[in-house]
Every structure is written in C-alpha cells, then in structure tokens.
Structure 1
Amino acid sequence: MILLPSLLVQNVGVETPQIMVLVALACAVLTLAEYASTYPSLIEFRDAPPFNRIRYLSLFATLFVLSLLARGEVDPNGLTLLVEAIGSLIGTSLDFPYSPVRLVLISMPDGASPAEINTVRAAAGMAYLISLLAIIFFYLILKLKNWPSRSGAFNVWINLPTFDPTAGGDVVKRLNRDARFNLALGFLLPFLIPAIGKAAESLFSAAMLTETHTMIWLVSLWAFLPLSLFMRGIAMSRVADMILEMRRRSTAVATAGHVYAT
C-alpha cells in the first residue's frame, strides 16, 4: 500500500523510491510484530475484524484511485480517463459552499491553474466519498452482524491497549466520553486540516501543486484520519454498550438467584 503511489506514478526523484521502501519495511515490521505478539502495544481492535481491514482497504483504495488520477496526467489510458471522469463528477457534486472539498480548494495557493484545481477537486471528492462509504459499510456490519460479538470473546485490554480501564471513574462513562470526542474530532478534521494547510501555505499548499506524491498522500490522509476517528468513536460506543448490557445481565441473574434462594 505504501509503495503504491511510487509504483503507479513514476515522475519522482531519485531518493523518493528508496525512502518509501524504508517506510514500507518499517511499517511491515511494526505490523508483523504487533500481530505476532501475544501482548498488544499500539494497534487497536486487532482481534475484532473487520475493523482494521476496513481502514486498510479504504486507504488502499484511496491511494490507488488518486495514483491513477495522477498517472493520467503524464501517461493517460482508458482506465485513467475513466477514473478522471468519475472523479470530476464526484468532485463537482461535493464542491458546494462550506463543504470539505470546497475548503480544500480554498486552501490552494492563488496561482493554481484551472487544470490543477480540477485535479485536486477530483482527488478530494474521490477520497471523501471512499471514506464515507467505508463508514457506512462499518456501521452496517456493526448493526447487521452484531460486531464485535461474532468475533468471539471481546478482550478490552487487547483491543484497546491505549485505554486504561483502571485510570479512575466508571468505564462506561469514560468510553462514551472518548467516543463522543473521537466523533466530534472526526467531524471537524476535514474542515480543520485545510485551514491548517492554508496557515502553512508555504509548506503544504505549494507542494500539492509541484509534488504529485505529496498531493496524493495529503489528500489521502485528509480523508483517512477523520475516517479512523469516526470508526474508533463508533467502536468505543459499541464496547460501552456491550459492557452496560453485561452489567444488566449480571444484575438480573443475581436478582433472580436472590429471589430463588429466598
């Protein structure tokens, strides 16, 4: 996945493929060590598929589509032309006042050409649509498949290694509070990231026009980070509901046993 933009878009510097290979190897070692280890470290919901699979596939699809879109500018073919047409249609549909796509376009430098604006609009529209579809797909799995109950016994420590249930306060309240925070931040990030990029225009905005790979990764992360926060918030809310349901069942069983003994 990390090497995908460098493989599809060849107009890169001499050192860029070497850097991307090192990054890909580091991520591969981290992922292998995480899933091969008995004790968790950073990756959440590793034993509750398809949470991480959906995130991975959404980012892979975003990088693949945006790489094809960028490849069409230097080496057009039937597939790139199709992706460009679909991206232009989606980008134009999502480009309305106060939309995240419109804010991405506003954050671009003043000297951007119409062709560059159209490319960024298509890329932002495609990335945002893929993220929305991923969120909808995860929510449907949660409701229709009763996620994560069908994945077996849910271990909070393994699936939420960064959450300390003994830190104080009721676990359910803390999970719901963290879930609301993640949902709120996931909703705001598509609007905040373009504003941050506009504030640091000399670093990011110009690079989106001059560096194809920078544009691909920035737009992909702009859509992927809110997706991850949304999914994390939904998942933590679901875990809180599961714990609350277990408490109710335990209370009901204890009450019934007390009545029977009496």
Structure 2
Amino acid sequence: MALVAFLAAVFTFVEYSSDSPSLVEFRDAPPFNRVRFCALFATVLSLSVIFRGEAAPSAVTAFFQSSGSQIGQVIDFPFSPSRLMILTMPDGTGARALTMLRDAAGLSYLLSLLSIVWFVILLRLQEWPRHGAGFNVWINLPTFDPTAGGDVVKRLNRDGRVNIFLGFLLPFLVPLAIKLAAYLGAPIRLDDPQTLIWTVTAWAFLPAGIVMRGVALSRVARMIHLQRKKASANAGAKGVQSV
C-alpha cells in the first residue's frame, strides 16, 4: 500500500509539474479536485477511526462507531448497495465482521452522496466554469479530442450523462464483480481491516468521482454553448451595425 501511495504521489507531482497534461483531467478546476480530495480524506479517516476503536477504544472512536452503526442500519435494506456489499462476504463470516462491514459501507456511501451534493452546490455558488475566466479545454480535458468528429457540446453532454449513469450504477455492480471473482477462484478477502477500509473507500469514492466528472463535463458543455450564443449574438449585432 505504501508503494502504491508513493507511485501515485510521484505521478501526480510529475503530471502537475509539466506544462502539457497527459492523463489527469481538470487540473485547473479547484471545486472538482478539492471536493474529491476532501471526500477521500473524510472517508478514509472515518473508517480508520471506526476500526481503531476495535483495538484502542475511546470517546472519539465510540462516537464514530455509533454514528456508523446508525447510518449503516438506515442504509441497509434489501437490494441497497450496502446490503450487496455485505452479501459479498463468504459463508461463515462472523456477525461482528458483517456488522463492521455494514457500518463501513453505510458511512462511506453516505459520505459519497454528500460529496456529490456538496460538489453541485459549489458549482452553483462559484458559477464554475466562469464564462470570462478562460477555461482551457486542452489543460482540463487532455484525453478529449475536439476534432474527433461531431458537435463538441453534444459529445460533452453525452459523456456527462454516461458518467453520471455509470457512477450511480457502479456501487451495485462492484459487489457483483467481487462475488464473481470469488466464484472464479480469486476472492478478495475483507477480513483484514486495511483491505476492508481501502476496498470500501474505493467502492464508494470512485463512483462518486465519476458522477462528479459527469456533472463537470455537462457544465463545460453549457459554458461552450453559452459562449457560442454570445459570439453569434455579437456577430449579428456587428452585421446590423455595418448595414
């Protein structure tokens, strides 16, 4: 895990240090990056405190465990993402392990939903991307080719809708993939606290990030559409004046 974190840090440093982007999207998009970072940090911290309470209980860990338990019970209903995560555990898993997984899944899923709502509110309040701020599509969308064919606005809106749909669907599909991997002889063991924390975090955070990407793409498409309308209106006004 430390090696993965180190490699990710090196890649991020190199990516942001270079003038020409390669893979990382929305380099110049503070709301997008800040919300994702805060959501990931809050999820890992909350789950770590919950599992810390198993070894070294305290008032803080008891508060997080109680909050996670209440949220887990509310979100745990038939066919919910939280219930599907619980069903990935093998037969014979202890009741305490199932309860911890339920609480972790419920809390992380709630945090992911709150991060999406927070992101949408920030976009509204900050009016991102601003029309006069000079949004650079190449810097923020290095993998998007405007010359690939088709209208840019329609492609961005389509990609945005696909991302939003996929983001809301993934929490239901990932447990199925984990269960399928177990049937194929490659089970993902969630009995280790570190593995459980990072697996549940990824299960909740990655779909939320995909939803936020879809919302951001839709906002960029809207900005381009408004700029086109403004340019067309200005051109029409100049034509009338020249006549």
Is the structural similarity TM-score above 0.5?
yes
- Residue 126 of structure 1 deviates from its aligned partner by 0.9
Gaps of 5+ in 2: none
Give the number of aligned pairs: 241
Shift of 1:203: 3.6
1:195 to 176, 181, 191: 176
Q: Which amino acid in 2 is paired with 1:233?
A: G
Q: CA deviation at 1:39?
A: 0.9
The whole-number CA distance in structure 2 between the counterparts of 1:34 and 1:71 is 34
Within the alignment, does 1:223 sit opposite 2:204 as a pair? yes
Is the partner of 1:200 in helix, strand or coil? helix
Unaligned residue ranges in structure 1 (runs of 5+): 1-19
Which moved further from structure 2: 98-107 or 80-89?
98-107
Contact 1:47 / 1:151 at 8 angstroms: preserved in 2? no
Is the CA contact 1:47–1:159 (under 8 Å) kept in the aligned structure 2? yes
The aligned residue for residue 135 of structure 1 is 116
Question: Is 1:120 equivalent to 2:86 in the alignment?
Answer: no
Q: TM-score, normalised on structure 1?
A: 0.88
Mapped partners of 2:43, 2:68: distance in 1: 12
Q: Are 1:67 and 2:43 an aligned pair?
A: no
Match of 2:127 among 139, 146, 149: 146
Shift of 1:83: 0.8
How many Å apart are 1:151 and its aligned residue? 9.1
Partner of 2:108, secondary structure, is: helix
Does 2:190 match 1:208?
yes
Spell out the pairing of 1:177-196 with structure 2 (5 A cutoff).
177-196=158-177
Deviations 1:135-191 (A, max 9, x none): 011100111210121893100000011111111111011101111110111011000
Q: Tell me whether 39-48 or 240-249 shows the greater mean CA deviation.
A: 39-48
Q: Which amino acid aligns with 2:81?
A: P
Question: In the alignment, which residue of structure 1 is the partner of 2:241?
Answer: 260
Deviation of 1:255 after TM superposition, in Å, equals 0.8
TM-score, with structure 2 as normaliser: 0.95
Answer yes or no: is the 8 Å Cα contact 1:62–1:130 preserved in 2: yes
1:43 aligns with 2:24: yes
Counterparts of 2:222 and 2:108, CA distance in 1: 31
SS in 2 for 1:166: coil
Match of 1:22 in 2: 3
Identity within the alignment, %: 53
Q: CA deviation digits over 1:186-233, x for unaligned, max 9? A: 01100000111111125445x112x21111111000001111110000
C-alpha distance in structure 1 between counterparts of 2:34 and 2:203, whole Å: 19
| 1:219–1:151 distance in 2 versus 1, CA, 3 Å | farther
Over the residues paired in the alignment, what is the CA RMSD in angstroms?
1.4
Matched, 1:249 2:236: no
Counterpart position of 2:154:
173
Deviations 1:92-142 (A, max 9, x none): 010112211111112221211111111000100110111111101110011
Matched-pair contact (CA < 8 Å) for 1:49–1:148: no
Q: 1:70 to 1:150 in 2, by over 3 A?
A: farther
2:50 touches 2:65 (CA, 8 Å); kept in 1? yes
Letter in 1 for 2:172: F
SS of residue in 1 equivalent to 2:190: helix
Q: Is the 8 A contact 1:179 1:232 kept in 2?
A: yes
Give, in whole Å, the separation in 1 of the partners of 2:220 and 2:174: 29
8 Å CA contact 1:49, 1:151 repeated in 2: no
